[in-house]
Amino acid sequence: MDFRLSPEEESLRKKVEEFVLTELIPLEPEFENAPDIFEGSRWKTRAKLSRDPEVARYVEIVEGLEKKAEAAGLWYLDVPNEYGGLAVGNVGMIAVTEELEKSSIPFELGNHVSNILYSCKGEQIDKFLWPCIRGEKTSAFGLSEPASGADPSMLQTTATPDGDDFIINGTKMFPTFADVADFVQLFARLPGTKGREGVTCFLIDTGTPGYRVTRSIATIAGTEPCELVFENCRVPKTQVLGEVGKGWELNQAWLGARRFQVGIRSHGMSQQVLGAVKDSLRRDAKEAQKSAGDIGHFLGELEALRSLTYFGAWKADQQMDVRTEAAHVKLFATELLHRVIDFALEVVGASGLRKCGVIARAFRHARSRRIVEGPSEIQRHIIQRALFREGVGLLELI
């Protein structure tokens, strides 16, 4: 057994740590009042469209950071070798995110490439994958529908074959950034199929006739997911991602890969929130004494979350099935983050809800995390299903 990062992972972690210390943390005061759109790596497209000079100022700062990160060799981390990246594994990427989360600046290293796009074949590679790796294009993920969320096997959008094309009809709910994305990864089913059968993934360019982004929807989390409508939208079969009828595996792979990042992000956000609690208690020794036990409890839980996350990521790196681990991490992480924030607000009081503060920001973001990419109830369902299928053998050490 060895709980240490490998020498390569450790040197990468150190590099990121250095970057956070010298580049991100000094910018923190400046970002205290930054608008919410600087969330995640796809901030650019949205922020660039803004006419607000204040936003433009932040765009400039973040673009400067990007250049510095790229120069430091920290940009194409999880991109596979054959696409010119460093092919950093899950454990390495968890270590990277853990360092980044030590700063409250919403900054990610690398362009956001949806992991299922690595299934691109032939012309798709130049048209969709490369531009995403280079940061020239962004994508949205169209799975949920008005009547199918937690259970995506109920999706109703249809893809009817017609010669060399498919005709898409249906409505998609909540793809984030679809309004500014260059294409959408859309899941639809072949006519006459049910459940997981016949689900097919299409890559559909924004602006394709019959595909409309009808509106964006404001949410508590500050993200603005969209509603998409497909009316007799004709898509050539060359834009099927993977194989026709084999889309279910892709949607599961997309969901699985993100879980461990959710774990370490919740860990980082909780740490920031507890840091804010610490600051607020600095002037009040009596209050601090009262809260010390609860804070200690949460720090212990976070330690547990961290080790659970690293274990899952490590197992994923061994090419083992990690769907159950992913469910454990997603459930534990998002529920714990929620409890930490709830506690923090009880300590800090109403002023903790000041919109620009760390706690208020976390309060709004965290609420949606218990829902998106599979609500807690679905995670519990996945875990119990595995328990009844495999028994405690599921918990055996490897």
Q: Which of 26, 73, 236, 300 binds another protein (CB under 8 A)?
A: 300
Find all residues with CB under 8 Å of 276, minimum gap 6, and list them: 344, 348, 352, 357, 358, 359
Binding of another protein by 288 (CB under 8 A): yes
Q: Which of 9, 224, 227, 373 binds another protein (CB under 8 A)?
A: 9
Terminal Cα-to-Cα distance of the chain (whole angstroms): 10
Closest CA to 132 of 147, 117, 122: 117
Q: How far is the CB of 306 from another protein (least distance, A)?
A: 9
Rounded CA-CA distance 268/154 in Å is: 34
For another protein, the closer of residues 72 and 386 by Cβ is: 386
Nearer to another protein, 183 or 343 (CB): 343
The distance of closest approach from Cβ of residue 395 to another protein in the complex, given in angstroms and rounded to an integer, is: 6
**CA neighbor of 89 nearest in space, from 252, 293, 314:** 314
- Residue 89 token pair: 């594994």
Does 283 interact with another protein (rule: CB under 8 A)?
no
Residues 6 or more apart whose CB falls under 8 angstroms from that of 350 comprise none
Note whether 238 binds another protein by CB under 8 A: no
Rounded to whole angstroms, how far apart are CA atoms 278 and 30? 21
Q: Which of 274, 348, 358, 359 binds another protein (CB under 8 A)?
A: 274
Indicate whether 305 belongs to the interface with another protein (CB under 8 A). Answer: yes
Our CB check for another protein shows the closer of 73 and 391 to be: 391
Site for another protein, residues 310 to 329, rule: CB under 8 A: 310-311, 314-315, 328
Which one, 95 or 203, has the nearer CB to another protein?
A: 95
Question: Which stretch, 104-112, 176-184, 285-293, 359-367, contacts another protein (CB under 8 A)?
Answer: 285-293
Site string for another protein, 359-398 (x = CB under 8 A): --------------------xxx-xx--xx--xx-xx-xx
Asked if 2 is part of the footprint of another protein (rule: CB under 8 A), the reply reads yes
Total Cβ atoms within 10 A of residue 251: 20
Q: In the complex, what is the shortest distance from the CB of residue 1 to another protein, in angstroms, rounded to a whole number?
A: 5
Phi-psi sector, 181: left (phi>0), alpha (psi -120 to 50), beta: beta
- Told to check if 211 binds another protein by CB under 8 A, we report no
Residue carrying the six token digits 């709830």: 342
Q: Does 192 bind another protein (CB under 8 A)?
A: no
Least Å distance, CB 91 to another protein, is 5
Short-list 364, 273, 382, CA closest to 323: 382
Determine contact, residues 171/229, Cβ cutoff 8 Å: yes
Shortest spacing between CB 292 and another protein, in angstroms: 3
Minimum CB separation of residue 341 from another protein in Å reads 17
Q: How far is the CB of 12 from another protein (least distance, A)?
A: 13
Half-sphere exposure of 396 (CA within 13 A, CB side): 6
Ramachandran sector of residue 104 (left: φ over 0; alpha: ψ -120 to 50; beta: rest)? alpha
For residue 92, the minimal CB distance to another protein (Å) is: 9
Nearest to 313 by CA among 250, 362, 385, 265: 265
Regarding 140 and contact with another protein (CB under 8 A), the answer is: no
Q: How far is the CB of 331 from another protein (least distance, A)?
A: 6
If one counts every other C-beta atom within 10 angstroms of the C-beta of residue 119, the result is: 16
> Does residue 332 bind another protein (CB under 8 A)?
yes
Q: What part of residues 72-131 is at the interface with another protein (CB under 8 A)?
A: 91
Q: Which of 113, 365, 383 is nearest to 254 (CA)?
A: 113
Please classify residue 124 by burial: count the beta carbons closer than 10 Å to its beta carbon, then call 0-12 exposed, 13-18 middle and 19+ buried: middle
- Interacting span for another protein (CB under 8 A) from 22-30, 71-79, 157-165, 300-308: 300-308
Shortest Å distance, C-beta 298 to another protein: 9
Q: Give the residue from 157, 177, 175, 159 showing the smallest Cα distance to 228.
A: 175
At its nearest, how many Å lie between another protein and the CB of residue 293? Answer: 4
| Cβ contacts of 32 within 8 Å, gap of 6 or more | 356
φ, ψ for residue 168 (rounded to 5)?
A: -100, 135
The residues that touch another protein, with contacts defined as CB under 8 A, are 1-6, 9, 91, 274, 278, 281, 288, 291-297, 299-301, 303-305, 307-308, 310-311, 314-315, 328, 331-332, 379-381, 383-384, 387-388, 391-392, 394-395, 397-398
